[in-house]
Structure 1
Amino acid sequence: MTLTTKRRLLHTRQVVCTGFERDDGLFDIEGRLLDTKGVDTEFPYGTIPANGVLHYMRVIMTVDRSLVIQQLTAVSEQAPTPVCSQINRAYSALVGVSIGPGFRKRVAERVGGIKGCTHLTELLGPMATTAIQTLAPLMRMQQRKRARRDPDYQLPGHWVIGTCHAYHPDGEAARLANEWQPIEDPAPR
């Protein structure tokens, strides 16, 4: 895409989510949100200089293999008001919530609106997707191993089927996902 109109950078938001396997069998999903201003920007609590940080927030969410949140820590390292970080503890209300259908609704019930921070709450969406992407290959590997051991076990369809246009249940990508067998499963830790 070629841009021909002159532009001036006003704001940049960067969201980075990473998934880690822990030695204790749990998984840490870490989300980081960084907002920077492209120009000097005045706020009630002061001025953010050009290239200065408006928000730097992190969430570390620990999940089990069933994608149930075991622990969640929210940290507001930089925020535009001195009261922003006071809500961080509210995110512990998500312990016990399962990532899957209805996740966003359960998040909104517990930390939506004035019960939470808009930016921390928004970060949980891509973190949930990251959790699924982190664990899905491991869960599929377990299913394939079980199918090899147990002739009565019916290997379920691939989890991605029906989640988007590309993986429409009747499409070519869905058929390939269900038929595909890796040459070798990754070595267990």
Structure 2
Amino acid sequence: MSPSIPAPAWRKPLHHRHIATSGFARNDGLFDIEGQLQDISPDGTDLIFRTVPAGTPIHDLRIVLTVDRELVIRGARARIESGPTIYCPEIESAYAALSGMRIGPGFKREVKARLGGVQGCTHLTELVSVLATTAMQTIFALLRTERGSRRPADEQGPMPKPTLVNSCHTHRIDGEAVKVLWPEHRRGAAR
């Protein structure tokens, strides 16, 4: 059992960041992956370009990525409902540059190349990385539904290496979880 996090001393909230994401199946066979990021000051704040009342978002950003089953982005729409300046929404259309990209190895690096620095909004670009994980979880949910109660070990024949292999400590190639996820008898030549 993991050690618990010690109870903190008294503390006063100064900033809240809320990130919420969801994945949806569409009736055209594609998937919408939606995300929202909000930064809120409980006491309000006086910014250079505007005053933000207590409990009102400094940032309220939204992105919708439309992806296919192979996690290729077919469309991307960004919206800045609220930002620290009136100039922030000028960058929304830049996120169309995500179209055609595949979510997988190297995705974050490519997003940074296309939308890093002055080519994008720091917070929207950060949200894209969170949406990539949500997109993968959405497709995993679909595959679990399609697979039903069958497990990889119950089937025969080679299967491609799952994208989870070597993605984290638990899913390392030599770990116990991968023996279940990608059984030896199913690996074939695709090691």
Q: Partners of 1:40 and 1:64 in 2: how far apart? A: 41
- Shift, 1:102, TM fit: 1.1
2:30 is the counterpart of 1:22: no
Percent identity for Structure 1 against Structure 2? 42
- Shift, 1:60, TM fit: 0.4
- Shift, 1:10, TM fit: 0.8
Paired position in structure 1 for 2:122 = 118
Change (3 A) 1:65 1:6: same
Paired position in structure 2 for 1:95 = 99
TM-score (norm 1): 0.83
- Shift, 1:92, TM fit: 0.6
Instruction: List runs of 5+ in structure 2 lacking aligned partners.
Output: 184-191
Q: What are the Cα deviations for residues 5-32 of structure 1, in whole angstroms up to 9, with x where unaligned?
A: 2211111001111111111000100011
2:77 is the counterpart of 1:70: no
RMSD after superposition? 2.2
Paired position in structure 2 for 1:54 = 58
Amino acid aligned to 1:56: D
Deviates more, 1:19-28 or 1:129-138: 129-138
Q: Partners of 2:93 and 2:48 in 1: how far apart? A: 25
Amino acid aligned to 1:85: P
**Aligned match of 1:166 in 167, 170, 175?**
170
Q: Partners of 1:94 and 1:178 in 2: how far apart? A: 31
**Aligned match of 1:81 in 53, 60, 85?**
85
Q: What are the Cα deviations for residues 101-156 of structure 1, in whole angstroms up to 9, with x where unaligned?
A: 111121112111111111100000010011111113435757xx9x9xxx8x5222
**Aligned match of 1:177 in 169, 175, 181?**
181
Q: Is the 8 A contact 2:37 2:59 kept in 1?
A: yes
Change (3 A) 1:4 1:171: closer
Amino acid aligned to 2:9: T
Paired position in structure 2 for 1:136 = 140
Q: Which runs of 4+ in 1 moved over 3 A?
A: 137-142
Q: Partners of 1:34 and 1:123 in 2: how far apart? A: 10
Q: Is the 8 A contact 2:50 2:85 kept in 1?
A: no
SS at match of 1:73: strand
Q: Partners of 1:117 and 1:93 in 2: how far apart? A: 13
Amino acid aligned to 2:137: Q
Instruction: List runs of 5+ in structure 1 lacking aligned partners.
Output: 180-189
TM-score (norm 2): 0.83
Amino acid aligned to 1:71: G
